[in-house]
């Protein structure tokens, strides 16, 4: 199920396994796994390939040195860029260094000029692993910036140097990190490779478990998303059904000048399979949606908030009337999705947060980083510095399911479980896509999906729709939120078909 492990969990697993293995066995396995990953990436015969390996002073550098010996033995032209030891190196790293020096690999001056001076088929980043605590600076920063300027494949070992493996943030307020095209990560996958800056720096990620027995791994509390987490709820429709069989959704929003937001959410709910969809406007309601007259427009004051799944917030505004309708939604017994202005109203009024936490039936919150920051009373930078922690804290404080949007959307349950979403692309960075997500989540809840699985599926389908559109040439530049809606319908139906095939 694609588990993700924290740095502390990886270290505990490594230490547990090492106690039952000969000294240096895990480093040798890592070096071999890294060499195999490199061989899979190289487009030419070994003798035609020029590989530069950057080896740092720690055990990550030892993995690179062991890898260098394997690649040299395979007939490649291998150059090793070796940082001097800053302290006493481990015996395992010393052994790896001896193997590299005994091979046909050549050692080059550890400077940015040496990186720039070659025409490389592949560059391997073995500078720093999961233990890096401070920003890269000086000559090492210059070397990383030179790596990032190269036009070749870059393979990071365990984690791109400069990236925090837990959080996906570049270490330091003005830090740099290697931009790898590929990462081979050891023992277990890490959340930081898949969220925040991680997706831009890690590239394609593969996991090398180093043949460590499963008994050494603690149960994971974080996972990558995938249909296996929720596909059992994707059921074909019975022939003997009607619109009432598939639930009703009420989207609450649409203050003056913002009617488009709830309409986008409502269209998404309609295309995602809700049987009936209403838009409850806080003030004057338009007569109908000319693009989709199936939608029903009402004044919020005339709607029964206990008769449908509620999606509150798109274009809701910040008026007293909007606040009263949000209070009614929280006080209702209906399944609830809160987005946009609903989150901003709660951030301004702690009483609404308390009411939500005491609700009993929970809710799904879909904040972007700024909305999450307002709710937590911190800065956006603090949220983005540790997206998993921010999502977990928000979910626990309000006893809800949280989908913290962004690159590698983080879903957190009130109990602390986390899923990092793997779908989506920069096409989603445009106005209205959050409204579409909220409506999609509401539609799944209306069709009987449990809250945790509905949130995961909504985020996954939302991103998959964008991925398919971009693959077909629609975006990422210029894709609109409206274009996502029919693509989501296709994605849902394909998921059901694959589930029942």
Going by the annotation, the residues of the binding site are 59-63, 125, 129-135, 158, 161, 261, 315, 368, 405-409, 434-435
Contact 299, 328 (CB under 8 A): no
First to last CA, the chain: 21
Q: What is the dihedral of CA 95, 127, 149, 405, to 10 degrees?
A: 140
Count of alpha carbons within 13 angstroms of residue 418, beta-carbon side: 30
Question: CA distances (Å), 50 to each of 108, 119, 125, in order?
Answer: 13, 7, 15
Helix (H) or strand (E) holding 436: helix 433-446
Task: Count how many residues are written for the chain.
Answer: 501
User: Which string of DSSP letters, residue by residue, matches 233-248?
Assistant: G--PPPSS--GGGG-E
Q: DSSP letter at 300?
A: G
Residues annotated in a binding site for (6S)-NADPHX: 59-63, 129-135, 158, 261, 315, 368, 435
Number of CB atoms found within 10 A of residue 2's CB = 17
**Is 391 exposed, middle or buried, given 0-12, 13-18 or 19+ CB atoms closer than 10 A?**
buried
Structural tokens at position 224: 């990558």
3-state secondary structure of 299: strand
Bridge partner residues of 106 (DSSP): 79
Please give the sequence-ordered ranges of beta strands (E in DSSP) within 117-212, or none if there are none. 122-126, 153-157, 182-186, 204-208
For residue 157, which of 106, 122, 105 has the smallest C-alpha distance? 122
Token output for 438: 């909220």
Crossing angle of helices 320-331 and 341-348, in 10° steps, is 100
Task: Determine contact, residues 437/405, Cβ cutoff 8 Å.
Answer: yes
CA dihedral 59, 60, 62, 67 (to 10 degrees): 150
Task: Please report, in range form, the residues annotated as the binding site for K(+).
Answer: 60, 125, 161
Question: Which DSSP symbol is given to 284?
Answer: P
Residue 290 contacts by C-beta under 8 Å, 6 or more apart in sequence?
none
């Amino acid at each position: 199920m694609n588990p993700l492990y924290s740095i502390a969990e990886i270290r505990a697993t490594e230490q547990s396994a090492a106690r039952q293995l000969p000294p240096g066995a895990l480093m040798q396995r890592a070096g071999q796994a890294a060499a195999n990953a490199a061989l899979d990436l190289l487009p030419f015969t070994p003798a035609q390939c020029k590989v530069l390996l950057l080896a740092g002073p720690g055990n990550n550098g030892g993995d690179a040195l062991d890898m260098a010996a394997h690649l040299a033995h395979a007939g490649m032209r291998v150059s090793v860029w070796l940082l001097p030891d800053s302290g006493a190196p481990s015996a395992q790293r010393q052994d790896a260094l001896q193997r590299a020096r005994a091979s046909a690999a050549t050692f080059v001056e550890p400077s940015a000029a040496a990186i720039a001076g070659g025409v490389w088929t592949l560059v391997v980043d073995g500078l720093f692993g999961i233990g890096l605590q401070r920003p890269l600076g000086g000559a090492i920063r210059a070397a990383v910036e030179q790596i990032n300027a190269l036009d070749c494949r870059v393979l990071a070992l365990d984690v791109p140097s400069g990236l925090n493996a837990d959080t996906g943030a570049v270490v330091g307020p003005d830090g740099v990190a290697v931009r790898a095209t590929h990462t081979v990560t050891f023992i277990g996958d890490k959340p930081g490779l898949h969220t925040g800056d991680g997706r831009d720096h890690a590239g394609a990620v593969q996991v090398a478990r180093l043949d460590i027995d499963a008994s050494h791994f603690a149960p994971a509390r974080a996972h990558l998303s995938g249909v296996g987490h929720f596909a059992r709820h994707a059921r074909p429709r019975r022939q003997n059904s009607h619109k009432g069989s598939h639930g009703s959704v009420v989207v609450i929003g649409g203050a003056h000048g913002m009617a488009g937001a709830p309409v986008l959410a409502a269209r998404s709910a309609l295309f995602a399979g809700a049987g009936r969809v209403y838009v409850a406007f806080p003030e004057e309601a338009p007569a109908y949606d000319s693009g989709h007259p199936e939608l029903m427009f009402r004044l919020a004051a005339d709607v029964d908030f206990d008769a449908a799944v509620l999606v509150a917030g798109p274009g809701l505004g910040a008026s007293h009337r909007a606040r009263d309708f949000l209070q009614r939604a929280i006080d209702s017994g209906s399944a609830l999705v809160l987005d946009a202005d609903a989150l901003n109203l709660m951030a301004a009024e702690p009483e609404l947060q308390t009411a939500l936490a005491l609700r009993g039936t929970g809710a799904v919150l879909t904040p972007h980083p700024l909305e999450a920051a307002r709710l937590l009373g911190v800065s956006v930078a603090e949220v983005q510095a540790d997206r998993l922690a921010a999502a977990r804290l928000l979910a626990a404080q309000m006893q809800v399911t949280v989908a913290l949007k962004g690159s590698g959307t983080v879903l957190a349950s009130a109990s602390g479980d986390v899923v990092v979403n793997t779908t989506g692309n920069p096409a989603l960075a445009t106005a209205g896509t959050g409204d579409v997500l909220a409506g999609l989540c509401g539609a799944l809840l209306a069709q009987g999906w449990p809250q945790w699985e509905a949130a995961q599926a909504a985020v996954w389908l939302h991103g998959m729709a964008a991925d398919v559109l971009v693959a077909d040439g629609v975006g990422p530049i210029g894709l609109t939120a409206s274009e996502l809606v029919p693509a989501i319908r296709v994605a849902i139906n394909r998921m059901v078909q694959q589930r029942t095939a």
